[in-house]
Amino acid sequence: MKKLFGTDGIRGIVGKNLTADLSFKVARVFGMMITRDSPGPWKVIIGRDTRSSCEPLEDAICAGLISQGVDVSLAGVIPTPGLAYLTRTGQFNGGAMISASHNPAEYNGIKFISNDGFKITEERESAIEQALDNYDQLHFPKVPQGSVKRDLSLLLKYLEYLKQIEKISVSGLNVVIDLANGATFSIAPELFTALGANIVSISDKPDGMNINLNCGSTHLDNLQKAVLTHRADIGLAFDGDGDRVLAVDERGEIVDGDQIVLIEAIDFIQSGKLQNNTVVATVMSNYGLEIALREHNITLKRTSVGDRYVVEEMMKSGAVIGGEQSGHVVFLEYNTTGDGLITGVKLLSTLKRRGGKFSALAAMMQRLPQVQLNVNARSTKHWEHNTAVQEAIRQADRQIQGKGRIVVRASGTEPLIRVMVEGKDDSLNGLLANDIASVIQTEVEANRL
């Protein structure tokens, strides 16, 4: 079991379990592996979001990489999917993104990208962890130090790529964008304006500490109000590193990742582009998505939570669209990871092409009531083997049998155990979710979790 990497790279509270020293060592090992596995010269691109902690971590990562003879290009503030796109252009041996995505400012993280634009494999992550466990015994090769250069043109290359994805102009659409004071704050307004939309931006003034603070894809209240105030056709809310987006329709109603996947899957099937008539989503996606897809003869394949697993299944099954309820939507034709900006471009283009109201597109899927609860846990490693928790889940399963489904899982990015109950009876959902969460809380307080 991995100790350092979660479902989305390394993540932690800066100065506590994510330090400059750890960042240096991880980057040094990553650099050693790159120089060992491929001929030189070696180049790695580093990107970051807007957290004030990014720059010192960037310095530490640079130091680790150049110590292994790797040349570093600093892209500055750039969305994670932008870094993934640039990494697979053939110019770089890998990438490192400094971000904690949707988490608050006190968190940060490191995601490593392979030269194919995909996140490094779980096997590579385990190898890095093993190397860190034996760090003092490692023999790093003596090589000439690599160089560091800042290259802000890299963001512009990503912007130019995004502009040409859809040929249709979205002129006339009124759009509010919530930039989460994060990595999309400069590129998103320029992109959507260039495509012809009338843009109103909110949460677009990052100060190093306000990323995701009551804004972005995890806090939609401000976007909902802004859409109504400005009589917008659609609102888009990004997260801190720009790899996810949620939407709001013209009535101020939330349109989640499941609905976005459905809207785009139907658009693809109508244009003959939905390969194998298959869509990929996670176990957390609403059963209403499965019902709506079935009505269009589209097969849904489910995976564990994490866009890594969505992408793996997409490649395995030949699917071109996949995503998560949280707003990670993957279009493999265009990028190797969830990309909020590409998703936004596709949504605006679909809305313009189809005409009518965005709420009508969202209404193609009817969500079943769903209750989600989070329980703080000291450790999320052994909950599956806790007898009391498993009995609580079995009892809940018996009560909801035939009326819904239950998913209990450990968060891959935070010390939380997540409980989800879904079914037609909302009151029963809440009762069962609370029963399971109460047992988990009792076990935590008794130091059994």
Write out pLDDT tens, residues 334-373.
Answer: 999 999 999 999 999 999 999 999 999 999 999 899 899 9
pLDDT computed for residue 287 by the predictor: 87
Tell me, yes or no, if 285 is annotated catalytic.
no
CB 336 within 8 A of CB 84: yes
What integer is the mean pLDDT of 176-191?
Answer: 98
Q: Homologous superfamily of 165-362 in CATH?
A: Alpha-D-Glucose-1,6-Bisphosphate, subunit A, domain 3 (3.40.120.10)
User: In angstroms, what CA-CA distances link 218 with 101, 222, 225, 373, 381?
Assistant: 11, 11, 15, 15, 26
pTM: predicted TM-score of the whole model, two decimal places: 0.89
pLDDT computed for residue 2 by the predictor: 64
pLDDT computed for residue 321 by the predictor: 98
Of 101, 114, 203, 326, which is the active-site residue? Answer: 101
Q: Which of 130, 3, 123, 9 is nearest to 61 (CA)?
A: 9
Angle, helices 187-194 vs 153-163, to 10°: value is 30
What integer is the mean pLDDT of 58-86?
Answer: 98
Instruction: Kindly indicate the confidence band of residue 305, based on its pLDDT and cuts at 50, 70 and 90.
Output: confident
User: In angstroms, what CA-CA distances link 87 with 14, 23, 80, 114, 129?
Assistant: 26, 20, 11, 7, 23
CATH 3.40.120.10 assigned to domain 5-154? The reply is yes
Q: Where in the chain is the domain with CATH 3.40.120.10?
A: 5-154, 165-362
Bridge-based pairing state of the strands 198-202 and 234-238: unpaired
Q: Which fold has domain 370-445?
A: TATA-Binding Protein (3.30.310)
Write out pLDDT tens, residues 33-57.
Answer: 999 998 889 999 999 999 999 999 9
**Residue 244: alpha-carbon gap to chain centroid:** 5
pLDDT computed for residue 415 by the predictor: 86
Write out pLDDT tens, residues 116-157.
Answer: 999 999 999 999 999 999 999 999 988 999 999 999 999 999
